[in-house]
Amino acid sequence: MLYIKMLSVSEGFKIINDIEWHDLPVDSISINETCVCIIVTPYDESTKLYKRLELKLSNFTSMSVSLGDKFTSFALRDLEVSSFNYTHEGDRITGEIGILPGNEGLWTIKFEQAKCDLHENT
């Protein structure tokens, strides 16, 4: 059974600030016309377990995605967040996420004034 814990905006940004957004495993990424959803699996040292967090950016004023150069399907098995730089005001966030697809380049997702939701999936 999948359990989703809803977090308040302040709880969500506290967790976002506490996560080291470098060498962070990515379980999945989905992008459509209204949202970007990234599921990451940070290691929780206190419990010695991996958490499963879903970062959802939606209702943005603008968004761009750059996949860089060519990559093989094998690169999709080894995705990780390399950087996450942002500013926020209320529940809106502006910034850029860098994703490494294996050793095959750098993807960037840039967004402006996105609604930011963070869900803990356990």
User: Domain residues of the chain, as ranges?
Assistant: 4-121
Cα-based torsion angle of the residue sequence 22, 12, 30, 36 in order, rounded to the nearest 10 degrees: -100
Closest CA to 83 of 1, 21, 4: 21
- The percent of residues in the chain predicted with pLDDT above 70, rounded, is 89
**How far apart are alpha carbons 80 and 86 in whole angstroms?**
18
**How far apart are alpha carbons 99 and 21 in whole angstroms?**
10
pTM of the model: 0.84
**Stretch 88-102: mean pLDDT:** 90
Residue 19 or 25, more confident: 25
**Stretch 84-110: mean pLDDT:** 90
**Stretch 15-29: mean pLDDT:** 87
